[in-house]
Amino acid sequence: MIPIRAGTAADIEPLLDVWEALMACGTEADPRFRMARGARPHMRDYMRSWFAPQPFPPVFLAEHDGALVGAVRGFPSLIVPVVERAPTVRIGDLYVADAYRRQGLARRLVDTLLLSAREAGYPRAEVGTLTLDARAVAFWKGVGFGDWMVTLSREPESP
């Protein structure tokens, strides 16, 4: 079984590779979702902020033969005191390399994050995914997530 461990700031470079692979999957599912030019250095800076102190580890990683083959990231969601809901972990990213899919690794990564968050006092979870990524939508529903809110967008009109 592929081990899962909490990530650290020392994992940022391999995490950037995973993030770029995740972005490519998003673009494949919906061409409107594409990585901006020069995004990697900005993402590196942003990833550093992930490892600031928080109530539970922000990233869990799966490694096989020294290579990062899966990752999940979560963070405490800002609770606005006008909607009644339990403290919430927001899942920001999930990726498993092609060769390791359909083996339960994504579910294990998510379960590890959710257990860690629950133990830290965050029993509720949210995730967003691309509407046109049917595989991702099916995965999230398959691990117990359901519809709650919908984010709609309006693209700029073409000249």
Give the pLDDT means over successive 10-residue stretches in the chain (159 positions). 95 93 89 89 92 94 95 90 88 94 96 98 94 92 91 80
Whole-number pLDDT of residue 141: 95
Report the distance separating Cα 119 and Cα 109, nearest Å.
Answer: 16
What are the b/e assignments for 12-28, b being 16+ CB within 10 Å?
A: bebbbebbebbbebbee
Global confidence as pTM: 0.90
- DSSP type of residue 149: -
Report the distance separating Cα 136 and Cα 128, nearest Å.
Answer: 10
Burial class (CB in 10 A: 0-12, 13-18, 19+), 142: exposed
Whole-number pLDDT of residue 124: 94
CA distances from 157 to 29, 85, 92, 130, 154 (A): 21, 37, 29, 21, 9
Report the distance separating Cα 5 and Cα 63, nearest Å.
Answer: 8
Report the distance separating Cα 137 and Cα 128, nearest Å.
Answer: 9
Report the distance separating Cα 113 and Cα 57, nearest Å.
Answer: 8
Whole-number pLDDT of residue 150: 84
